[in-house]
């Protein structure tokens, strides 16, 4: 009787677990996926953004110094470091499906349009956040919980004090 119970429990675990027993993608599969997703290109964009930020924060350091922050070795190191995460969250079959998608016309459109889409979405989010903060501060000022400078009344301190 106990043997049937254990077999039944094992079947339930297999059905509920979905990918629990699926084949893990190989390193080569994950690397191919990252290539068709243009992950190295995303590193270049990140590097350029970081370089611009660092050049502003440290103007005494030549701007071209930061351009090598994520150099070719850095790209390879980052890709290698990311592989286990993909292997943990996706099966070999799923990675194959993602590769097929990202090789398709729609997948490539996603890759090429995503940076601009995310930049526009981030700008919209920032605008929303500024307006939301302004509205909430106005309500708190109307209730007398914040003074006209956005500080707690009578404390002379900053926001939230």
Residues 122-156: pLDDT tens digits? 999 999 999 999 999 899 999 999 998 889 987 75
pLDDT (0 to 100) of residue 20: 54
Task: Say if residue 11's pLDDT is above 60.
Answer: no
CA distance 17 to 137: 47
Using DSSP, state whether 55 is helix, strand or coil. Answer: helix
Residues 90-126: pLDDT tens digits? 999 999 999 999 999 999 999 999 989 988 999 999 9
pLDDT (0 to 100) of residue 10: 52
pLDDT (0 to 100) of residue 8: 53
Q: Which of 91, 106, 107, 87 is nearest to 38 (CA)?
A: 107
pLDDT (0 to 100) of residue 94: 97
Q: Which of 46, 77, 50, 74 is nearest to 61 (CA)?
A: 50
Using DSSP, state whether 79 is helix, strand or coil. Answer: helix
pLDDT-based confidence at residue 48 (cuts at 50, 70, 90):
confident
pLDDT (0 to 100) of residue 6: 47
Q: What is the mean pLDDT of residues 71-79?
A: 93
């Amino acid at each position: 009787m106990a043997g049937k119970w254990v077999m039944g429990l094992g079947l339930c675990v297999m059905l509920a677990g979905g990918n629990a027993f699926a084949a893990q993608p190989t390193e080569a599969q994950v690397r191919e996926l990252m290539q068709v997703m243009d992950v190295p290109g995303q590193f270049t964009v990140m590097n350029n953004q970081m370089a611009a930020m660092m050049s502003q924060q440290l103007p005494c350091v030549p701007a071209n110094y930061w351009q090598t922050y994520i150099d070719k070795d850095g790209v390879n190191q980052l890709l290698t470091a990311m592989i286990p995460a993909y292997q943990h969250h996706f099966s070999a079959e799923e990675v194959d499906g993602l590769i097929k998608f990202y090789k398709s016309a729609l997948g490539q459109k996603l890759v090429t349009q995503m940076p601009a889409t995310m930049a526009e979405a981030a700008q919209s989010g920032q605008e929303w956040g500024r307006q939301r903060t302004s509205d909430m501060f106005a309500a708190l000022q109307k209730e007398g919980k914040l003074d006209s400078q956005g500080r707690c009344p009578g404390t002379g301190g900053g926001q939230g004090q």
